[in-house]
């Protein structure tokens, strides 16, 4: 049943990406009307391992919304309206480094925005906002997820640079190689402007990036394994076979990792102190003109 918005408080929210759907108990769906149009779907509110959370499927319930058409402002505005103070954002990404293998989790701490068409602020007319983004992600949430991931013996890293591209296409090999030169760890299509809009609403934001592929910078040498693609292997001079990314590969890897994500979410969400005073909750201080 879809219910109209009413006064309620939900402290935690998950915005689910490709392959990261969340099952809730005692579920109700709430339609929140926003100044920016419709959210990706009705917001599901229910119990997740005994804790009340809100959930939005970023791409819609039938995964029909491409990355460049997501109504990011509506999603974040609606969650703030419901009282959300913490957003957890699982996202499928491609690896830009050999050390980031498939099924690895990376807790993002920096991004590089390569999107082109997305509205990335709530402050378009009248009052100006120059939101700080030196450290865009919530250090508190990142540390909690990292600690839990280590407890679960997952391949997990605290910190990494997310390069966000416009999509919906994947990168060219030339772009992928440039992103590596810039120091990118992973590449994806959905993290921006979610992160900056969350800051403008003073919400803690954490991106759990899940590596599903090696993007298109990579090739495979019969002698040396994974190397940067070139006509000849820079290590041994042998032939390098091209590797590429496609949708079936992403879905397959996500399917293998879904249980690890579920355990990581279940255990970490129990640890979040929703009464904690976080610097993220004061991100508008000294940002408004």
Catalytic residue among 109, 113, 185, 213: 213
Residues 199 and 78: their CA atoms lie apart, in Å, by 14
Token match 């402007």: residue? 193
Query: Cα angle at 135 between 191 and 159, to 5 degrees?
Result: 70
Q: Which residue has the tokens 């959300």?
A: 84
Q: Beta partners for 226?
A: 220
Q: Which two tokens stand for residue 121?
A: 């602020």
- Provide the β-strand partners of residue 288: 129
Active site residue 113: no
Q: Which residues pair with 34 in a beta bridge?
A: 37
Annotation marks residue 213 as catalytic: yes
Active-site residue, from 139, 215, 241, 273:
215
Q: What is the 3-state secondary structure (H, E, C) of 120-150?
A: CCCCCCCCCECCCCCCCCCHHHHHHHHHHHH
Place of tokens 């830009």: 96
Instruction: Please identify every residue annotated as catalytic.
Output: 213, 215
């Amino acid at each position: 049943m879809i219910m109209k918005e009413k006064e309620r408080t939900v402290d935690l929210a998950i915005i689910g990406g490709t392959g990261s759907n969340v099952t809730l108990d005692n579920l109700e769906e709430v339609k929140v009307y926003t100044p920016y149009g419709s959210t990706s779907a009705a917001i599901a509110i229910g119990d997740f391992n005994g804790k009340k959370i809100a959930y939005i499927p970023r791409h819609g319930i039938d995964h029909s919304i491409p990355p460049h058409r997501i109504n990011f402002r509506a999603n974040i505005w609606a969650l703030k309206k419901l009282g959300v103070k913490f957003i957890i954002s699982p996202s499928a990404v491609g690896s830009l480094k050999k050390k980031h293998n498939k099924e690895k989790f990376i807790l993002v701490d920096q991004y590089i925005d390569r999107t082109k068409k997305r509205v990335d602020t709530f402050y378009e007319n009248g009052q100006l906002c120059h939101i700080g983004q030196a450290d865009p992600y919530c250090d508190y949430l990142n540390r909690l997820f990292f600690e839990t991931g280590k407890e679960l013996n997952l391949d997990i890293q605290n910190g990494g640079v997310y390069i966000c591209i416009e999509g919906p296409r994947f990168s060219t090999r030339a772009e992928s190689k440039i992103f590596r030169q810039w120091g990118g760890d992973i590449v994806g299509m959905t993290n921006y402007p979610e992160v900056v809009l969350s800051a403008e609403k003073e919400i803690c934001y954490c991106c759990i990036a899940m590596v599903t592929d090696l993007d298109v910078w990579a090739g495979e040498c019969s002698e040396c394994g994974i190397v940067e693609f070139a006509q000849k292997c820079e290590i041994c001079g042998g032939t390098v076979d091209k590797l590429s990314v496609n949708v079936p590969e992403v879905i397959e890897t996500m399917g293998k990792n879904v249980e690890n994500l579920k355990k990581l979410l279940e255990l970490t969400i129990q640890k979040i102190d929703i009464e904690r005073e976080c610097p993220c909750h004061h991100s508008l201080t000294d940002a408004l003109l």
